[in-house]
Amino acid sequence: MSFAVDSHIIGHFGPYGGRFVPEALIGALDELALAHEVALKDPIFQAELAELHRTYTGRPSIITEVKRFAEHAGGARILLKREDLNHTGSHKINNVLGQALLTKRMGKKRIIAETGAGQHGVAAATAAALMGLECVVYMGEEDTKRQSLNVARMKLLGAEVIPVTQGSKTLKDAINEAMRDWVTNVDTTHYMLGTVAGPHPFPTMVRDFHRVIGVEAREQCLELMGRLPDAILACIGGGSNAIGIFHPFLDDVNVRLIGLEAGGSGIESGLHAATISGGSPGVLHGTRSYVLQDANGQTVESHSISAGLDYPGVGPEHAYLNDIGRAEYRAITDAQAMEAFALLCKTEGIIPAIESAHALAGAMQIGKELGSEAVLLVNLSGRGDKDVQTAADYFGIPL
């Protein structure tokens, strides 16, 4: 049997996924689903995207074995998939280049995007600059203050950044505002959603653009070791880097797939962003999945030291993989993530994104559980340059 769901036609992953959107968006979602479906089978599109990845993104991303770090993880062998070395500094570029090519194919000239920490916004602005598209990025007002450097980066790249002052003024409200823009300007505009959430076809399409991570990693593992890893670990906010590395391994049933959610101050504190570990099934931003919500179905604000994981929803395919038991999800607290962050810096000379540090903290736990014979593959989804301020504050380093 196969654990991969054919979500291309109906957009469902078991009871999850689907479309919960105003009727005004159905036409655009159908158009996008068709464009994606055609592009997936079109060798010209695939060649164009592969060439961009080779000459612009810097793919394939390399594998780095981290032996000194592994001494703190029960001696298990630990391999990092280096998405942090991609252009713009994270896996996000995989998705935006794919969607930008689709935007041009659909004849649209304007893209909109949401961003929390600014990583997807920067990636979207980059793709727009490369392909000559107008770009508007919605960003919660709170986040524009916390991430002013990324706001400047987006502006340098020619994007307009609109601070969102509604609701909690963070990522979730930036998505609401982007959807309102899209409903209004759908004829001319493509919504370049940054993760594997939202209405069909986004969870399927964004996953397909990130599968390159897992496809490369599978070949690299076989080449390097002649076998597959025992476990693959990735951090989960919306879940795009995780699904990208998990998906090509779904039918390799001996490979454990482990998603590390943002546990914030701990699930029991209520201050976290661990949607699967600490939430319940519901509908948010056009898709059914796990959601952080109260007794009335109102979305509850999430909390994490990592802005990129600070989202009260999660991609529907992860909800499905959790329920059928093919993937496992654990929460990593802010403190555990920061310990792993500091350790990778000092033992390997690599400053990871705080998001990715959640996966590293997971490796420290799993490595100890599995012992020194085990091989763990960790998706290092982004680099930590953007997090220097946060980390300096956390560790008390004066700036």
Partner 1 sequence: MSTPLDTLFVRTRSENRAALIGYLPAGFPTQQGCIDALTAMVEGGVDAIEIGYPYSDPVMDGPVIQAAADTSLRNGTGAAEVMATLAAIAKIAPTVVMTYWNPIEKYGVDKFLADIKGNGGSGVITPDLTIEESDPWIAASTSHDTNRIYVVAPSTLEERLRKVTAATSGFVYAASLMGVTGTRTTVSSSARGLVSRLREVTDLPIAVGLGVSTPEQASEVAQYADGVIVGSAFIRLLQEAHNPQDGIAKVRALAQDLAKGLQRS
Min dist CB 192 to partner 1, Å, is 17
Minimum gap (Å) between residue 293 Cβ and partner 1: 7
CB-wise, 18 or 382, nearer to partner 1? 18
Closest approach of partner 1 to the CB of residue 260, in Å? 26
Q: Which of 81, 90, 92, 108 is catalytic?
A: 92
Nearer Cβ to partner 1 (193/245): 193
Closest to 212 (Cα-Cα) out of 124, 117, 81, 359: 81
148 vs 184, beta carbon nearer partner 1:
184
Nearer to partner 1, 67 or 109 (CB): 109
| Rounded Cα distance, 256 and 231, in Å | 4
114 is catalytic: yes
Q: What is the DSSP pairing of strand 110-115 with strand 287-291?
A: unpaired
Helix, strand, or coil (residue 12): strand
Minimum CB separation from partner 1 for residue 200, in Å?
9
DSSP 8-state assignment for residue 285: T
Instruction: Please provide the DSSP assignment of 124-156 as one string.
Output: HHHHHHHHT-EEEEEEEHHHHHHTHHHHHHHHH
> Comparing C-alpha atoms, which of 192, 190, 159, 169 is closest to residue 116?
169
CB of 342 to partner 1, least distance (A): 36
Strand order from edge to edge, sheet including 12-13: 12-13, 16-17, 287-291, 280-284
> What residue type is assigned to position 160 of the chain?
E
Distance in Å, CB of 111 to partner 1, minimum: 18
Measured CA to CA, the distance from residue 132 to residue 129 in angstroms comes to: 5
- Is 381 catalytic? The answer is yes
Contact 199, 176 (CB under 8 A): no
- Residue with smaller CB distance to partner 1, 28 or 350: 28
Q: Which is nearer to partner 1, 114 or 230 (CB)?
A: 114
Alpha-carbon distances of 97 from 229, 336, 355, 356, rounded to whole Å: 29, 33, 22, 22
**Binding footprint of partner 1 on the chain (CB under 8 A):** 10, 18-24, 26-28, 166-167, 172-173, 176, 179-180, 183-187, 282-286, 288, 291, 293, 295-299
CB 61 within 8 A of CB 85: yes
> Which pairs with CB-CB distance under 8 Å and at least 24 residues apart come from 324-329?
324/3, 324/14, 326/3, 326/250, 326/257, 327/246, 327/257, 327/258, 327/259, 328/256, 328/257, 328/258, 328/259, 329/236, 329/258, 329/259, 329/260, 329/261, 329/274, 329/276, 329/277
CA-CA distance, 279 to 270, in Å (whole number)? 10
Q: Which of 114, 142, 348, 355 is catalytic?
A: 114
Contact 88, 386 (CB under 8 A): no
Q: Give the length of the chain.
A: 399
Name the CA dihedral angle for 236, 242, 243, 246, rounded to a multiple of 10 degrees: -140
- The nearest distance, CB 291 to partner 1, in angstroms, is 7
Residue 32 Cβ, how far from partner 1 at the closest point, in Å? 14
Answer yes or no: 92 catalytic: yes
Residue among 147 and 189 whose Cβ is closer to partner 1: 189
* Closest CB to partner 1 among residues 64, 168: 168
Catalytic residue list = 92, 114, 381
